């Protein structure tokens, strides 16, 4: 039967409209490789790149790992997009030796110049482009000063048999092992081929193998665009253990079973995160447990979080760190701070999201403990920095400085407290709806603080009278310290411990402390909230009763050792030395050394320990501690 003409036109119109809407939705969700000038990344003060002239869209990397020389030999081919007939491409480098630059399609050599060296930024690699150059080939090698690379000898690993390599690119260290536009505002896809000694496994922030092969050659693909700070590589004697349909853990053979047991709830974490803020968009989520010299608790490299072994304590009590790195799969990796001045957009959102995941899995009381410890950490940070210090603002000004200067509790905990303030003002249901739309709108994109504020106003504040004053966003973001109206956090479990602690201080009766069911968080709260000055009898009583100096939980060890140093409790010092020479996590190492150097005797002890410990540490930790002894 022949369709009537008006109905036919109506159906054609509806079909066209449907196709348009589908394509429009897909365009928003697709990788941001648009040529639209409004999508060109802004100039970043921590990068030499000029993305408004030429911007990297894809990286093809070929690396040979030379353990005998502690060196990478590489070829980086970058596919670029050019604007306004630009005739130069600028890449960031630091301590790289450039051997050759050419047009990868024609093979023609391209003239290049390496700019003046800056201690933070390195040197600009300025490449003169031919008229039609779209693919640039750079042959290079790294140096012994490659700050992202940690080369470990076999004796520094668990099995004592094979060497180990891992990278840490955040914040601006990717340029020390890849010539790239090293700015969080520039995203690109990548592929890689890595050649390593036989018997070792190579892994990257990409689609990964799960077992070693006979050739020692491994190929990788990252189909989603990422910024350079999420480039990651690790090579070692590693095994894989599955934790579920889309997750698993890599570790040295002696550690892999223990790690798998500790992270058994990982699939539940992923599901909990998705229920809160939408689909996990990176395919797999695996963990790599690194040697103890890793300078951070974790690093949110897409598809493969790097994690410190210090969170593996046998009772899953420190796995909130994994929830934190998982949360970065949305806040940070999916929606990324445009510059390091906007670092709070990565970390404040992630701490908030981490706590929501932990609440969903383990209950409100558990979340309250985590949030309160973070709140205390924030108050201590503000006290140390000074309440009027501009570095206590969420929006930072790091011009002329290393962006690592912005890695404080301010971005993490003040950012989290600000978001909790918004939740309290609008209600959790409306806030969650906003966050879902926020991650959807800015997926695979970068965002600065001002763009976030505009979006917050348009989508949440604008239509509600009095809400702008209640949220008070500008004071939170642009003023130092904490607004007077900030949320006051409490923990019912910590209140019980507080009363027990006060009673013990009053009576000196150790039996007044009912510690049998304390989690590591309760122990940390107890130690952190003891009087700063205790006598030797009090310290000995606690240590002999609870074996705190000999704890195998690094969070408890750190809090106890800090208290011991403040009170010159010498019994703990051999354990402090052992801790500092076996753990390279900056969160622990730097405050302990800072406290030690406050006295002449402590400084002498610190210098002795640091001489032995320094070769263990990654540059990130070493660079911070070095400054204490200058």
Q: What's the CA gap between 187 and 58, in Å, rounded?
A: 9
**Long-range residue pairs from 380-383, CB within 8 A, at least 24 positions apart, any chain:** 380/409, 381/408, 381/409, 381/410, 381/413, 382/410, 382/481, 382/482
Query: 114: which residues sit within 8 A by CB, 6+ positions away?
Result: 93, 98, 123, 124, 125, 126
Which residue has tokens 């003409």?
5
- How many CA atoms lie within 13 Å of 47's alpha carbon, on the beta-carbon side? 33
Residues contacting 372, CB < 8 A, separation 6+: 489, 490, 491, 494, 525
Integer Cα distance of 449 and 166 in angstroms: 32
Q: Which of 325, 359, 368, 555 is catalytic?
A: 325
Residue 398 dihedral angles phi and psi, to the nearest 5°:
-105, 20
Q: Which of 477, 488, 168 is nearest to 345 (CA)?
A: 477
Q: CA-CA distances (angstroms) from residue 174 to 47, 94, 229, 231?
A: 11, 9, 6, 7
Q: Yes or no: say if 235 and 150 are a contact pair by the CB < 8 Å rule.
A: no
Give CA–CA dist 265/360, Å, rounded. 12
Of residues 316, 286, 289, the one with CA closest to residue 302: 286
The residues pairing with 249 across neighbouring beta strands, listed in sequence order, are 241, 287
Q: Are 256 and 250 in contact (CB under 8 A)?
A: yes
Q: Cβ neighbours of residue 2 under 8 Å, at least 6 residues apart?
A: none
Tokens of 11: 């159906």
- Looking at 48, 162, 412, 617, which residue is catalytic? 412
What's the gap between Cα 390 and its chain centre? 23
Active site residue 412: yes
Per-residue CA distances from 547 to 31, 534, 539, 553, 556 (Å) = 53, 17, 11, 11, 11
Give dist(CA 630, CA 621) in Å, integer.
15
Task: Residue 249: name the closest of 237, 233, 262 by CA.
Answer: 262
Task: Using alpha carbons, select from 209, 212, 260 the residue that is nearest to residue 236.
Answer: 212
CB 431 within 8 A of CB 470: no
Which residue in the block uniquely carries the two structure tokens 């890695």?
Answer: 407
285 is catalytic: no
In eight-state DSSP terms, residue 471 is H
What are the CA-CA distances from residue 308 to residues 227, 322, 586 (Å)? Answer: 23, 10, 11
179 and 100 Cβ atoms separated by less than 8 Å? no
CA terminus-to-terminus distance, the chain: 90
Sign of CA dihedral 442, 443, 449, 453: positive
Task: Answer yes or no: are the C-beta atoms of 290 and 297 closer than 8 Å.
Answer: no
Please give the Cα distance from 364 to 376 (Å, whole number).
Answer: 18
Residues that are catalytic = 325, 412
């Amino acid at each position: 039967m022949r369709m009537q003409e008006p109905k036919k036109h109506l159906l054609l119109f509806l079909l066209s409209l449907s196709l348009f809407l589908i394509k429009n939705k897909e365009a928003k969700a697709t990788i941001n490789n648009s040529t639209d000038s409004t999508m060109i990344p802004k100039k970043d003060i921590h990068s030499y790149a000029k993305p408004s002239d030429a911007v990297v869209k894809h990286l093809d990397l070929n690396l040979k790992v030379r353990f005998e020389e502690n060196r990478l030999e590489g070829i980086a081919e970058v596919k670029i997009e050019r604007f306004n007939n630009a005739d130069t491409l600028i890449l960031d480098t630091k301590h790289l030796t450039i051997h050759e630059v050419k047009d990868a399609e024609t093979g023609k050599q391209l003239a290049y110049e390496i700019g003046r060296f800056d201690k933070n930024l390195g040197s600009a690699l300025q490449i003169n482009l031919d008229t039609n150059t779209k693919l640039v080939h750079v042959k290079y090698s790294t140096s012994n000063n490659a700050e992202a690379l940690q080369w470990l000898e076999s004796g520094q690993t668990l099995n004592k048999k094979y060497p180990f390599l891992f990278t840490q690119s955040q914040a601006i260290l990717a340029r020390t092992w890849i010539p790239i536009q090293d700015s969080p505002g520039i995203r690109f896809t990548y592929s890689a081929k890595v050649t390593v000694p036989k018997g070792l496994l190579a892994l990257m922030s990409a689609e990964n193998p799960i077992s070693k092969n006979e050739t020692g050659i491994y190929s990788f693909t990252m189909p989603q665009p990422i910024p350079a700070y999420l480039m990651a590589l690790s090579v070692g004697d590693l095994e894989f253990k599955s934790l579920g349909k889309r997750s698993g853990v890599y570790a040295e053979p002696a550690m892999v079973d223990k790690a798998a047991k500790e992270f058994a709830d990982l699939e539940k974490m992923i599901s909990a995160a998705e229920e809160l803020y939408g689909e996990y968009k990176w395919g797999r989520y695996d963990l790599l447990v690194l040697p103890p010299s890793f300078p951070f608790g974790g690093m949110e490299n897409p598809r493969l979080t790097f994690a410190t072994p210090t969170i593996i304590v046998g009772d899953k009590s420190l796995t909130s760190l994994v929830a934190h790195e998982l949360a970065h799969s949305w806040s940070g990796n999916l929606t990324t701070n445009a510059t390091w001045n906007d670092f709070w957009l990565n970390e404040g959102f992630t701490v908030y999201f981490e706590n929501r995941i932990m609440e969903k899995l383990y209950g409100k009381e558990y979340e309250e403990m985590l949030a309160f410890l973070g709140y205390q950490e924030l108050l201590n940070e503000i006290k140390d920095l000074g309440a009027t210090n501009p570095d206590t603002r969420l929006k930072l000004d790091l011009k002329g400085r290393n962006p690592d200067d912005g890695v404080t509790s301010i971005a993490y905990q003040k950012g989290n407290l600000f978001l909790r303030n918004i939740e309290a003002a609008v209600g959790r249901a409306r806030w969650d709806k906003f966050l879902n739309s926020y991650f959807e709108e800015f997926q695979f994109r970068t965002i600065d603080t001002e763009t976030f504020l505009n979006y917050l106003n348009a989508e949440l504040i604008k239509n509600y009278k009095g809400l702008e004053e209640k949220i008070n966003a500008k004071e939170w973001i642009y003023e130092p310290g904490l607004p007077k109206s900030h949320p006051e956090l409490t923990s019912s479990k910590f209140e019980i411990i507080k009363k027990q602690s006060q009673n013990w201080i009053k009576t000196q009766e150790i039996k007044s402390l009912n510690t049998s069911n304390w989690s590591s968080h309760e122990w940390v709260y107890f130690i952190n909230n003891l009087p700063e000055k205790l006598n030797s009898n009090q310290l000995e009583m606690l240590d002999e009763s609870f074996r705190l100096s000999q704890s195998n939980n690094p969070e408890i060890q750190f809090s106890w050792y800090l208290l011991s140093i403040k009170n010159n409790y010498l019994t703990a010092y051999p354990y402090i030395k052992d801790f500092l020479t076996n753990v390279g996590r900056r969160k622990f190492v730097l405050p302990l050394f800072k406290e030690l150097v406050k006295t002449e005797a402590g400084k002498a002890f610190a210098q002795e320990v640091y001489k032995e410990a320094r070769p263990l540490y990654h540059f990130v930790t070493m660079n911070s501690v070095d400054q204490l002894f200058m």
